Chain A
Amino acid sequence: MADENAFAELIHEYVAECLPLAERVSDAFLEIERAWHRGGRDAQAIAELKGTLHTLKGNSAMMGLAPMQRLAHLLEDLCALALADEGARGLELAGLLVEGSGLLVDLVRGAAEPGGAAAEAVGGFAGRASEYLAAHPAAPAAALRLDRRRSDRRAEGDAGTIRVDFRRLDTLLEIFGEAMIEQSALPEVHRRLAARVGASPELADLDRVVVALGSTMKRLESALMQTRLLPISTVFGRFNRLVRDLARGEQKQVRLETEGGEMLLDKSILDRLGEPLVHLVTNAVVHGIEREDERLRRGKPPEATVTLRASALADRAVVSISDDGRGLDAARILARAAALGMDLPEGDASAAYAVIFAPGFSTADAVSQVAGRGVGLDAAASAIHALGGAIDVASEPGRGVTFTLTLPLTLAIVRSLIVEVDRERYAVPLSHVAETVRLEPGAVHEINRQGVVMWRGAAIHVADGGEILGSAPERVGGRKYCVVLSAGPRRRAVLVDRLVGHQDVVVKRLDATVGRPDVVSGATILGDGRVACILDAAGIVTQRAVA
């Protein structure tokens, strides 16, 4: 039992050290399985993997983690067999290596959690692996444990790494946010002081200090954000297995390629990125990629490729998912949209593609076991919008589809437009503001008892800010400004009294029991100390789709 082990308290260090090793082994076995599937018999990489498994076995044994120890041991023996017996290098052995290493990743990942991944799962695998080993006596038992090679070098500087509960970083950021608010009051104080005493050397000094403090705060903010970053490979890493398992279920050959895995993203974003990506990758494998015979008929390689790619723009991260499958069928999409009674987008095919993100839209003829009933794409799209991101799709018929996600680098600080409605101030995330317009008298029309404004040649629905926010509902027409919100292809305008300005606001999550969670996503404190609600712009825009 781990509880009686003197080193049980080091369980997080165990996971931190062993999970990357186990994941690397698991990915490498997937690679080997593909190579062997193509008829290769190379086993060069296996010697090193065996060494890593030996390390995993030793570490697990030290922690008293018997299931992991046993798994690593069996995998080591399977590696030894692969090294010793070229005839054994085939799909059966590769399948065992892939299955066992996947199980090992799950067990190690769950090791720190009470009742983590089920250790019983080892039993079934162990039975099959032992049977297989017994049937292949080529593996010389003594030679199995040469205990020699190992090249899993750890990155320099590991010794200077400490583990910190992520909540502590959140607390730091909150405190920083308060400091930022206090700091933002300084220029105003300076201005009032200058108005009273006029020019003075002391005031000039104060001005320099205020400016210097501002730039130090910017540096502090960026240093603080650095502590919250993780490479996106921590998310990408999960997809090797998903793609393999899906492809197997679909009887397709699919390889996953990843690029830009080293790109850093705030943990709060990464935590919420996995699910939409699962939808998109699943769709690519199940619907995007053709069956093998169809691919051959079209002169494509039988093995399809799904690519996950990450890159950084100035203040946004871009993640794309591409496949080299059949591409979207614009005619079918439009027919389907018409059948569902949806507004048909005007313009070229790429505009038509945008309707696939609408709720309930799916062109899949057969309800596939994995892709479900077409809930995938709109769920993915709304998850991305909720993150303050955007999703776009591009398709080349016969060549494949690329989904492009544009994401903010962090959720903790949001660049916002501050607006005023009925003397209350609200923050609107700029990522969702398409435009602000000064309302001309009579600009708001009524169609089917719903307010509408014309914007860039199209009629978009408009709502009164006071009505949405529950302050004194005013007759539409009394407000001076209109903020056009966007979430993906959808737009909705909100009428407000005043545009106050732009500000970086530190998001404070609201307790579920307060506020109006359907239109408000959080709160922040403004420079003058006033509390302002942050509007859930994506929620407001999609709300109208329901109304």
Chain B
Amino acid sequence: MSDATVRPGSFLVVDDSPLHHQMYRVVFTRGALAGSVVHHASNGREGYAILAAHPELTLVFLDLNMPEMNGLEFLVRRRAESLHPHVPVVLVTTESTPEDEARGRAAGAWDYLRKPFQPGDIERLVARVRAERAPAA
């Protein structure tokens, strides 16, 4: 993975915690990802609407626990409606068990991001998306 694969993109953060949105802001305004376009949603329903309007998204960060449509419900509905299936979705969790993760992948999660994470973890995820789906970007 070269550094060139870590470059700004277009992201969607779906999380009900204002603190977490601030954290993503830190990640996407500094370092290799500075200059990215970031969309923010505070629940699954809002996030789903944004995803529908933005097929160009590089990656979606989806919190598992949320009011108004949680992460799993989001994934299940997206699969059912086949909404932009090329956009990878990362499910964000705290201490998920292997069973939880299997459930998430079955519902269509591309990968997991476990809290606590640091900016480097997100940069690595972005690099992997770029490498795996180069033509889609």
Say whether B26 faces chain A, with CB atoms less than 8 Å apart: yes
Bound CA–CA A145/B93 (angstroms): 11
Bound CA–CA A59/B22 (angstroms): 12
Bound CA–CA A6/B118 (angstroms): 7
Bound CA–CA A55/B99 (angstroms): 20
Q: Which residues of B (34-87) have their CB < 8 Å from a CB of A?
A: 40, 42, 64-67, 70
Q: Which residues of A (1-34) have their CB < 8 Å from a CB of B?
A: 5-7, 9-10, 13-14, 16-18
A150 touching B65 in the complex, CB below 8 Å, given contacts A7-B26, A61-B116, A159-B42: yes
Within 8 Å by CB of B65, from A5, A6, A51, lies A51
For A153, the chain B residues whose CB sits under 8 A away are 16, 67
Q: Is the CB of B16 within 8 A of A10?
A: no
Bound CA–CA A14/B16 (angstroms): 14
Of the listed residues B23, B26, B66, B116, the one surrounded by the most CB atoms of chain A closer than 10 A to its CB is B116
Q: Is the CB of A54 within 8 A of B65?
A: yes
Say whether A512 faces chain B, with CB atoms less than 8 Å apart: no
A145 touching B97 in the complex, CB below 8 Å, given contacts A13-B22, A55-B17, A59-B19: yes
Q: Is the CB of B115 within 8 A of A147?
A: no
Bound CA–CA A147/B70 (angstroms): 11
Report the minimum CB–CB distance from A65 to chain B (whole Å): 10
For B97, the chain A residues whose CB sits under 8 A away are 142, 145, 147
A147 touching B119 in the complex, CB below 8 Å, given contacts A7-B23, A13-B19, A59-B19: no
Bound CA–CA A64/B67 (angstroms): 25
For A9, the chain B residues whose CB sits under 8 A away are 26
Within 8 Å by CB of A6, from B26, B64, B70, B115, lies B26
Bound CA–CA A150/B67 (angstroms): 7
Say whether A154 faces chain B, with CB atoms less than 8 Å apart: yes
A58 touching B115 in the complex, CB below 8 Å, given contacts A13-B18, A142-B97, A145-B97: yes
Write the A136-168 contact mask toward B (1 if CB under 8 angstroms, else 0).
000000100111111111100011010000000
Say whether A312 faces chain B, with CB atoms less than 8 Å apart: no
Of the listed residues A7, A17, A59, A142, the one surrounded by the most CB atoms of chain B closer than 10 A to its CB is A7
Q: Is the CB of A61 within 8 A of B18?
A: no
Report the minimum CB–CB distance from A71 to chain B (whole Å): 15
For B95, the chain A residues whose CB sits under 8 A away are 57, 145, 147
Bound CA–CA A142/B97 (angstroms): 8
Within 8 Å by CB of A154, from B18, B40, B118, lies B18
Report the minimum CB–CB distance from B70 to chain A (whole Å): 8
Bound CA–CA A7/B29 (angstroms): 13
For B116, the chain A residues whose CB sits under 8 A away are 58, 61-64
Q: Which residues of A (264-306) have their CB < 8 Å from a CB of B?
A: none
For A63, the chain B residues whose CB sits under 8 A away are 116
Q: Is the CB of B26 within 8 A of A154?
A: no
Report the minimum CB–CB distance from B110 to chain A (whole Å): 19
Bound CA–CA A354/B20 (angstroms): 53
Of the listed residues A59, A147, A159, the one surrounded by the most CB atoms of chain B closer than 10 A to its CB is A147
Bound CA–CA A456/B95 (angstroms): 73
Q: Is the CB of B17 within 8 A of A147?
A: no
Report the minimum CB–CB distance from A208 to chain B (whole Å): 46
24 contacts between A and B (CB under 8 A): A5-B118, A6-B118, A7-B22, A10-B19, A10-B23, A14-B19, A18-B19, A51-B65, A54-B65, A55-B17, A55-B65, A59-B19, A59-B20, A61-B94, A64-B116, A142-B99, A145-B96, A145-B97, A145-B100, A147-B97, A150-B65, A154-B16, A159-B18, A161-B18
Given A5-B118, A154-B18; 17 other pairs, CB 8 A cutoff? A6-B118, A9-B26, A13-B18, A16-B19, A17-B18, A17-B19, A18-B19, A59-B17, A59-B20, A62-B115, A62-B117, A63-B116, A147-B65, A147-B96, A147-B97, A147-B100, A159-B42
